[in-house]
Each structure stands twice: as structure tokens, then as C-alpha cells.
């Protein structure tokens, strides 16, 4: 224990003396090795000092990498990445002991890897090899917001097109799903949203594979991010491939009947119905002024299915007093929170009409198809 106090003191002194110098980093490395040798699970209970020391080492390495390609290369060549992962795995493995002091070295270690990876593809590849997908998944599941935030940052730093394809493979999809879950549960962590919008949405393979395995709440989150992305980058191309649009149109056509369950007020299917509503919003956006998605006008049966759904919704609304009724009194409707004036259900019919309009815009063939359904009335 005395030895550790001594080492800790030396380190603090050195830190003051030569914070930005390489010597400090080498010393830190040596101590990191020592910690690996001396720490074991039983010792950890009384190892606050060792944990502090580990944080200190990681912090030094983290700071030395900022804006320094030379230090990044040096640390990589010296095998720091490998050693850091050994330490991180060790810490992760002992999280169940419930020692609060364990989070700080974990945070600093992840930040170090993040800084190491910034702008350095070789480091990114090394980090990826050592952490994908299990370590990333474990770190994103740690009950500490900072650990989750910094891990998302590392993941974002490492991602490129090839790695996104890796993620879409069935054995790795859990990691992508975890990121999407975090987008919903931790909306304040910007990195996960950036991962989704800048990387995930650009891969049709990943979007399809995530969508088919997600719960409805996550689907709604994914669709909201898509919607935001479509609006944000309207003029410079949003990077969403046409096959994603085709896939979503197909999902809407297969699932749209679920929305009719809202009329009966049964809450069990509400989530699925809300997914359909979000799908409709995205399709409306895609077919308004987005040239790359106008091929949706020719998507088989999309127009007919939408018109039929509008007729069904209309008929249900007329048959009894429910959420689809034209002159409904929202405040008296018994459907609970879904009947608030802000409910997405309220604009559902309007959006169906908008989609039909978009699909017919400058398209004589579709206009003629709708003519057949001219008995459709929309009063709402």
C-alpha cells in the first residue's frame, strides 16, 4: 500500500512538472501495468487508491492525445490500446461489486480511447477489433450516464461504412438495437442520435434488420429520427437510400390496418398503431419535394392501400362515436391520453389525404386510379 502512495505522489508531482510531456505518459504506462499485476477482485474492495491511480493514468493518456497525432501513434505503437482494454475488461468484470470508485477509471479509460481514435483510422480499427461488439455492448449497458455518453462517443468516432455493415449482421445487431434504445431512453446523449442519423440511416441493410427486430417504441424513435433527418437536409440530400423508402412503404402497407384498432380504444395495439402513424408521416415527407423518393408514386398498391385505409377510417368514424369521428368532442372522448388535441391520431386522416395528394402530384396514372374512388369524402 505504501508503494502505491509513493507512486501516486510521484505521478502527481510529475504531472505538475511536465504535464504535456512524453515522459509522464511512459511513467503512466508503467504504472498501468503495475496496477494490472497487483489488483485482483478481493483486493478491489479496499483498492480505492489503486482505482484513483488508474484514473490518473488514463487521464494523463487521454490528455496527451488531444490534438497530437504524434502521441496517438506513439501510444498505439507502444501497445496502450491492448493494455487499456485489459483494464477496462477487468473493471467491467468487477462492476457487480458495487464500488462507486470504479466508475471514474472506466470513464477516463473510455475517454482516452475516444481521443486516441479521433482522426486516426489505425487506432479506430484497433479499438474496433478489441471492443466490437461485446465490450461496446457491455459499456453501453453500464448504469452510469457518463460511461454511456463517452462510449457512444468512441463508437461514433470509430464508425465508417464498412463497420456499419458489420453492425447489420445478425450476430451483431444487438449493439445497434442498444444504440436505438438509448436514443429513446437517453435523448440528452447527442452521440447516439448522431450515430443513428449519420451512420445507421444510411444503410438499408441495417435499417431493415433493426426494424424487423425492434419493439414498436423503438420503431417510432427510429422513424422520428428519419423524419427529422429528411427535414433537416432537404436541400443537400439526406443520405437515406431509396431502398429504405421502399422498405418503409412496404411496412406501411402490411401494417396499416393496425391503426383501425384505435377506434375501439383497446390500448394493447396502440403502440403498433402509433408506429403506423409515424410511418405515414415519414412517407408524406418523403413524397413531398424529395426527388430521390418520388419513385414511391409507382410503388405497387401503395396508392390503392392508402385510399382504402382512408375509406375504412372514414366509415368507422361515421358508424359510431370514436377517435375517427368527424365532429368528435376531444375532451369527452374516453380513450384517455390519446384523445388529447395533440394526439398524432388527430392528423392521421389529414396525412392520409396528403399522401394520396403527393402520390398523385403530376402523375396522371395515379390521378386516374383515385378517380375510381371518388366516393371518398373527407369532412374532417
Question: Taking contact as CB under 6 A, which single stretch among the options 34-42, 76-84, 145-153, 171-179 is the one that binds ligand NAG?
Answer: 145-153
Cα distance between residue 356 and residue 176, in whole Å: 34
Dist. CA 348–CA 370, nearest whole Å = 19
Residue 354 to residues 76, 147, 181, 306, Cα–Cα distance (Å): 55, 44, 31, 10
Using alpha carbons, list the distances in angstroms from residue 316 to 246, 309, 320, 325.
29, 11, 7, 8
Sequence length of the chain is 380
329, 334, 337, 364: residue in contact with ligand NAG (rule CB under 6 A): 329
Contact 273, 261 (CB under 8 A): yes
Based on CB atoms, which residue is closest to ligand NAG, 153 or 296? 153
Residue 334 as a binder of ligand NAG (CB under 6 A): the answer is no
- What's the closest the beta carbon of residue 332 comes to ligand NAG, in angstroms? 3
Query: Cβ neighbours of residue 93 under 8 Å, at least 6 residues apart?
Result: 41
**Residue 115 Cβ vs ligand NAG, minimum distance, rounded to whole Å:** 10
CB of 331 to ligand NAG, least distance (A): 5
- Asked if residue 153 binds ligand NAG (CB under 6 A), the reply is yes
Start-to-end CA distance of the chain, whole Å, equals: 77
The closest of 102, 116, 199 to 154, measured between CA atoms, is 116
65, 189, 206, 245: which one binds ligand NAG (CB under 6 A): 189
Closer of 72 and 209 to ligand NAG (Cβ): 72
Other beta carbons within 10 Å of 316: 17
* R_g of the chain computed on alpha carbons: 27
Say how many C-beta atoms besides its own lie within 10 A of residue 82's C-beta: 12
Name which of 150 and 252 has its Cβ closer to ligand NAG. 150
CB of 190 to ligand NAG, least distance (A): 7
Q: Which is nearer to ligand NAG, 159 or 294 (CB)?
A: 159
Q: Looking at 14-22, 258-266, 327-335, 355-363, which segment touches ligand NAG (CB under 6 A)?
A: 327-335
Which residue of the chain is nearest ligand NAG when measured via CB?
A: 332
**Residue 188 binds ligand NAG (CB under 6 A):** yes
Closer by beta carbon to ligand NAG, 44 or else 225: 225
CB of 145 to ligand NAG, least distance (A): 6
Residue 32 in the binding site for ligand NAG (CB under 6 A)? no
Q: Is residue 149 near ligand NAG by the rule CB under 6 A?
A: yes
Scanning 91-99, 124-132, 326-334, 353-361 for contacts with ligand NAG by CB under 6 A, the matching segment is 326-334
Instruction: In whole angstroms, give the CA distance from residue 175 to residue 137.
Output: 6
Q: How far is the CB of 379 from ligand NAG (least distance, A)?
A: 17
Q: Name every residue whose Cβ is closer than 8 Å to that of residue 374 and which is 6 or more positions away in sequence.
A: none
Q: Which residues contact 295 (CB under 8 A, 6 or more apart)?
A: 242, 245, 246
Residues that bind ligand NAG (CB under 6 A): 145, 149, 153, 188-189, 329, 331-332
Amino acid at each position: 500500500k505504501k508503494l502505491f502512495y509513493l507512486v501516486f505522489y510521484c505521478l502527481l508531482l510529475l504531472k505538475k512538472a511536465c504535464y504535456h510531456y512524453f515522459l509522464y505518459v511512459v511513467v503512466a504506462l508503467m504504472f498501468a501495468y503495475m496496477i494490472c499485476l497487483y489488483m485482483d477482485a478481493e483486493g478491489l474492495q479496499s483498492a480505492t487508491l489503486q482505482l484513483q491511480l488508474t484514473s490518473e493514468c488514463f487521464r494523463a493518456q487521454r490528455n496527451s492525445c488531444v490534438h497530437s497525432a504524434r502521441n496517438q501513434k506513439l501510444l498505439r505503437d507502444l501497445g496502450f490500446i491492448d493494455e487499456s482494454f485489459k483494464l477496462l475488461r477487468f473493471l467491467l468484470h468487477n462492476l457487480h461489486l458495487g464500488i462507486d470508485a470504479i466508475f471514474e477509471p472506466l470513464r477516463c479509460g473510455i475517454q482516452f480511447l475516444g481521443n486516441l481514435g479521433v482522426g486516426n483510422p489505425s487506432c479506430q480499427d484497433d479499438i474496433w477489433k478489441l471492443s466490437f461488439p461485446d465490450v461496446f455492448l457491455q459499456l453501453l449497458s453500464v448504469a452510469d450516464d457518463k460511461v454511456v455518453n463517452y462510449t457512444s462517443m468512441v463508437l461514433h468516432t470509430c464508425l465508417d461504412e464498412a463497420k456499419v455493415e458489420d453492425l447489420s449482421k445478425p450476430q451483431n445487431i444487438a449493439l445497434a438495437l442498444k444504440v436505438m434504445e438509448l436514443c429513446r431512453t437517453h435523448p440528452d446523449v447527442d452521440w447516439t442520435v448522431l450515430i443513428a442519423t449519420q451512420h445507421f440511416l444510411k444503410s438499408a441493410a441495417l435499417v431493415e434488420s433493426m426494424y424487423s427486430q425492434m419493439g414498436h417504441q423503438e420503431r417510432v424513435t427510429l422513424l422520428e429520427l428519419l423524419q427529422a433527418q429528411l427535414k433537416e437536409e432537404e436541400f443537400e440530400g439526406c443520405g437515406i437510400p431509396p431502398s429504405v423508402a421502399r422498405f418503409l412503404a412496404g411496412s406501411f402497407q402490411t401494417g396499416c390496418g393496425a391503426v383501425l384498432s384505435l377506434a375501439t380504444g383497446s390500448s394493447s395495439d396502440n403502440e403498433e398503431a402509433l408506429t403506423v402513424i409515424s410511418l405515414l408521416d415519414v412517407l408524406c415527407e418523403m413524397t413531398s419535394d424529395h426527388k430521390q423518393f418520388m419513385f414511391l408514386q409507382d410503388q405497387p398498391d401503395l396508392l390503392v392501400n392508402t385510399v382504402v385505409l382512408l375509406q375504412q377510417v372514414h366509415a368507422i368514424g361515421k358508424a359510431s362515436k370514436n377517435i375517427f369521428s368527424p365532429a368528435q368532442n376531444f375532451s369527452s372522448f374516453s380513450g384517455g391520453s390519446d384523445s388529447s388535441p395533440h394526439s398524432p391520431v388527430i392528423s392521421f386522416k389529414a396525412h392520409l389525404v396528403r399522401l394520396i395528394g403527393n402520390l398523385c402530384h403530376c402523375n396522371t396514372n395515379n390521378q386516374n386510379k383515385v378517380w375510381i374512388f371518388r366516393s371518398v369524402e373527407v369532412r374532417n
